[in-house]
A and B are shown apart, each in its own frame.
Chain A
Amino acid sequence: MNVLRIALRHLDREWRAGELKVLAMALIIAVASVTSVNFFTSRIHQALAGQANDLLGGDLVYLSDRGIPEQLVKRVAELQLQNARTVEFPTTVVAGERHQLVALKATDSSYPLRGHNRTAPKMFATDAQVAGGPVPGTVWGGSRLLTILGVDTGDEITVGNTRLRVAAVLTSEPDQSEGVLMNIAPRLLMHTDDLPATGLVQPNIQVVYRLLLAGDADAIAQIRQEWTPRLAHGESLNDVQDARPEIRSALKRGEHFLALAALVSVLLAGAAVAMATRRFINRHLDNCAIMRCLGAEQRVITQLYLIKMVALGLLASVVGIALGYLAQWGLMLFLAPLAGIELPAPSLWPVALGLITGMATLLGFAAPPILQLKHVPTLRVFRRDLGGLQISTLSAYGAGILAFTVLVLFQAQDLKLAAAIIGGLLIVLLLLALVAGALLLLLRPLQKRGGAAWRFGLVNISRRSGHSLIQMIGFGVGFMALLLLAVVRTDLLSAWENRLPEDAPNRFLINIQAKQLDGVRQFLRSEGVDPPLLYPMVRARLTEINGKTISLDDFKTDRAKRLIQREFSLSWADKVQSGNAVTSGSWWRPEDHGKPIISVEQSLARELGLGLGDSLTYDMSGKRFSAKITSLRKINWESFKANFFVVTPPGVLDIYPVNYITGFYLPQEQHNILNRLVQQFPNITVLDVATILNQVREIIEQVILAVEYVFIFTVLAGLMVMYAAIHATLDERIREAAVLRTLGGRRGQLLSSIVLEYAGLGLLSGLVGSITAGAIGMVIAKQIFDLTYVPGPALWLSGMLIGAIGVGVAGTLGTRFVLNQSPLKTLRGI
């Protein structure tokens, strides 16, 4: 353990001498930024998942048409999970002369487990969040229902065999979104204790029983695992992943944004460490040559430096993790009140990730050049010009890039995103190498012009082409990261937000009969609303695939099982609906109208294992309908338009019972139009999706907020790269400046040449960084967010400006002291 002792002593002495500070600081900031991002995102992620759970009313929902099995209730009690029950069925309620079909939901005293109901004390009064649901003896109804019934709070209505008092106007319920399109009637909420008295739950009516569960994530996962295989026809288990596609989609995009911000910190970590290592190596060439003279074998040199690196990596990682943890608490303090969300405790994963990041980054970017130290020629003790290590950029950065790739995969947990980032990195390196080459050619004729300072500054860049390249990689990566987050991020976020337009449909009309089409259009026109497109809809259940009767056991995933259990809404169209795109096969031509062919949404096809040419058979109220798949479509669910999984050409489905659906935007203040519409067409059901739209928008806004805070850390990491890049060749610059001073170089001359060199480097790095940031932005926009993004000259100009000023100022400040102290002191200090 002699080597260990020597190594630790050397580490201690090198630390005291300040040699390791840039390297350690780079590492600490890198680990701190990665861990703070991950501590923070783990909390945000859990909070977002929790908030999405609000849309379900619980973390997991068991759903059945037969009641809740006693064994499940027992197991839930054993696992000490919170639970609440709801019973839902359609029924008619009466108030005086008026009656209305309602979607009745009876809830127990524990409901809801996640999220809150919102009610108003009177019609048109301001609503507020309330705890729990209606107490026994009371009901809550939506304002539309109360208008139809002509009642207000305090009045009584008849529900089955009993009379219940309207206690509040229901404005929003947490699990409203779940199966929102299935709700064919306005909502009425009551307590389960009152159910027996109504006498409404009869064997012949379609009742949906729900058991909402919430609590410990492991227990929830266990229930899910235990009960999924036991689910029979008519039963299902849903969590937020199974909730509406638009919720899933919003969550997924949010995670992508956060992962992107975290990834940039990892990238910066590598660049900063690589820069700092370079200086460290150059400073240690002499030491290694001396130790070789004193009898150290190559193996010993390698062990010595590896032990130092591992010890440094561990120490810096631990400090970084601690700082990251503190930093995310600081973040919390001002984020939590802004966001109005309660963040759960972070998981331990970021600690492990911090350690992995620290070690992988240090060893990946520092180990290859450090392993070269053993090859230092011993003769260097006589001739210092010998043994400047020839480390090829590929070998120096190859392992680093490999380590980074692994970290990216860890962080992104998404192959596509990881590939985009890695691809971007390779493009950066390639672009930088190309620009550096072009720069040398460009600078040559300029070297002969201007004064000595001008010449010396510019010559320095091209003369030190190897070093300039390394520095430009550092600066370029730093600028790319900063610009990607500062400029591209803003553009991407606004583009993403715009995906959910202000006038996205917030009201849907369902159950419109064919003979009412003209009437509805005329009504809307008379109320000043542009009549929207009306889509035909036929309810059908999938029974056979390629002539084979399907059963639950044929499908593995829960989503697939649930999809085949429910009724599909089939529609027809002659043209591809807006927001839909055919991804394989081809859309029908006019001569195909009337033929039994269908177009299927691609995620449904994937879930059910369907492809072009497969034949599907549906049951429509006892009638069979078979058709062949001729195209697959991708649907933009975030448009909130009425969309259909399965579409046929015109002239196929119109022989079956059909009704129509439409969606349109109606401002809140025109809400009463719908009451008049329902009074005129009592069978039409109005669905209000304004609430769920607001919930989705809220989630998006919180994610954006989180990304903006994560961004601060990435900027810090970016600045660290710049600092390390300047320090990487600082010794050489200081020595040169000192020699020039000795030879009589004036302060002004030296200062101008330093400023020129750094500003020139910064300008070019900024240009390359901005070009690359734009290119990566385009790829990410297209591949990940499905957006079109075109970077403009403003991005390039800002890149060059920030580069020239930033690097010019920072580089000059870093080298400036050499102008103020005696050259001998400078030379001795190196």
Chain B
Amino acid sequence: MSKLTFARAINAGLRKSLESDPKIILMGEDIGALGGVFRVTDGLQKDFGKHRVVDTPLAESAIIGTAVGLAYRGYRPVCEIQFDGFIYPAFDQIVSQVAKMHYRTQGRVKMPITIRVPFGGGIGSPEHHSESPEAYFTHTSGLRVISVSNPQDAYTMIQQAIASDDPVLYFEPKRRYHDKGDVDETADLSTALSMEKARVVSSGSDVTLVTYGPLVKTASDAAMAASDEGISVEVIDLRSLAPIDFPAVEASVRKTGRLVITHEAAQSGGLGAEIAASITERCFNYLESAPVRITGFDIPYPYSKLEMHHLPDLDRILDGVDRALGRGNSLSGLEG
């Protein structure tokens, strides 16, 4: 067991993958000598060479489009999109090509492409550097979408993503890059928890609190604070956003009868809506109250002086927990 930052844990996972299969190559902007703008690929080009860790020209559609060609040729490209907000030029290649090639060719052509996306806010960045675009991709059939919340998962799940024969979008919470955690680098991929499975971070009996990525830590802190008031919150880290492990969420809600979902992404049409709807369909009779969403607002990502108002924090999450429990909260007395 070693103590690694989130960023080093991804780096270690990438290294392990690169060692395991010569067909795995990394590609992206500034990932070579610089080691990426967040240093996640630090040292990899030096050790594996310029043909395995490829600095590309600055063109996101081309990074993904050439990855499609490389996958056609039998390679397993791991692409880095430098920031969440820069993924849109590649949207067409991801949605129209990467996602659909397997279906289009009736399974003859596989697209084992991993797309790493640093995402989310909280680091005081200018526009385009703090977005949460995951719902665009969870809405696209053919893609697997995962998000990691701690160094161990970051290490294990990047390897699982790369090993997957399906394309995977791997959302890494950039504001957690410097958080440290224990990482078992001897962990066996074949026995590790499947990347499709959610994990109960802390068990509880009063409310189910569902989240992923950067807010898992915030949600855990909120659960701890709630316990001081005698409220028992079960925190679920989804890990996989497409498909979502609904049986895990359902099992929890059947126990607690209450559901709060929190994510940084905007509310309308977001993952919270999908979770609320699906859980309501699956176990309506077990719900004691309406599902509650605590999310970013339906606004463009704001300028950084105001971002902490936009991002769900511990108190907003607790306010949502109170709402689910029918306790006094900021919306008490407001209908609908």
Does B associate with A?
no
Binding site for B on A (CB under 8 A): none
